[in-house]
Amino acid sequence: MVDGVVHDESVRRSGGVGLGLNISRRLTQLLRGELTFSSRLGEGSTFCLTMPTGCDAAELSRADGARRSLNGNHRVSLAGRHILVVEDNPDTRKFLTYLLEERGARVTTADEGSRAVESVQSAARRGEVIDLILMDMQMPVMDGYTATRALRAAGVRTRVVALTAHAMADDHQRCVEAGCDAYLSKPIVEDVFFETITGFLPGTSSAVAPQVRPWLEACKREFRASLPATRELLESAVRANDLGAVKTLAHRLRGMAGTMGLPELGRVAGACEDALRRDPGADLSIAAAELLRCLGDFGS
Ligand code: MN
């Protein structure tokens, strides 16, 4: 396969023609790198990609460390900042609220786009400043794209950071076209999150990094405790052949499970959602089987 020779036997066994590996190797060679692998039948394979980048890895990680300790995200203070969190998933809304309040921010929340627009307008009437808007893009009633366009049309200049659990290539472009200033994909990674939002909050000062975080442990416990109920909801949505409900449940798990320390669950939920997006006519009991199995691991 690596040589570009396709064997009937491998096609029959793997269900693919085996061109991917050959293409990957040629691309690597064009970049003056090397792709090697070792494989053991029935056990698995290890692929190794080596590429000359022209920089010293040790140097890079030192520079990264210095930046973090100088301007480290875990040392950020958001005291005096007012942030509007627009998010339909209650777990994510709660998580973001705690995360921002921990750094001293004042947080206002909205669970869909039209409430966010109302919130911004009423803050303006009261003469209050909103420093930043975190906008989930997939929401019922009014989604984040529509809400951001409405805010921009009304002349609101507040920076908007889009949050999305999609992994599609044109997603970033769509967010920018709607008027967002930046884009973060879920699950939320704290370092990336704070680096992005502080870029829009000039003059952000530093603070001692929080050491004890009981709220985070509580969020994780509650999330795990909610999984048997989520499994039941998913089961009945499958039984009722309710495509929308299955997609919504998978989407929520995809966006939150990683942040709650369950990356595998997030990955399986993402695969389920993607499969249903590609083929809305798919058999729901097949499309959701792996996710149900995964949720079953958390007891009832
Ligand atoms: Mn959402």
Can you give the pLDDT at residue 65?
Answer: 47
Ligand 1: centre distance to CA 187 (Å): 12
**Range of lowest pLDDT (13-22, 185-194, 275-284):** 13-22
Other C-beta atoms closer than 10 Å to the C-beta of 249 total: 23
Ligand 1: centre distance to CA 247 (Å): 11
CA distances from 277 to 89, 246, 270, 295 (A): 20, 11, 10, 21
Can you give the pLDDT at residue 3?
Answer: 57
Ligand 1: centre distance to CA 210 (Å): 28
pLDDT band of residue 13 (cuts 50, 70, 90) is low
Other C-beta atoms closer than 10 Å to the C-beta of 108 total: 18
Can you give the pLDDT at residue 7?
Answer: 60
Give the bridge partners for 184, in sequence order. Answer: 163
State the chain's mean pLDDT as an integer.
Answer: 86
Ligand 1: centre distance to CA 289 (Å): 23
Q: 105-110 contacts: CB < 8 A, separation 24 or more?
A: 105/78, 105/79, 105/81, 106/80, 106/81, 106/82, 107/82, 107/83, 108/82, 108/83, 108/84, 109/84, 109/85, 110/84, 110/85, 110/86
Ligand 1: centre distance to CA 249 (Å): 10
pLDDT tens per residue across span 176-206: 999 999 999 888 888 889 989 998 998 877 7
Residue 37 has pLDDT above 90, yes or no: no
Residue 108 has pLDDT above 80, yes or no: yes
Q: What is the pTM of this model?
A: 0.71
Ligand 1: centre distance to CA 140 (Å): 8
Ligand 1: centre distance to CA 266 (Å): 14
Ligand 1 ion: Cβ-proximal residues, 5 Å cutoff: 88, 136, 138-139
Ligand 1: centre distance to CA 288 (Å): 19
pLDDT band of residue 21 (cuts 50, 70, 90) is confident
Can you give the pLDDT at residue 60?
Answer: 53
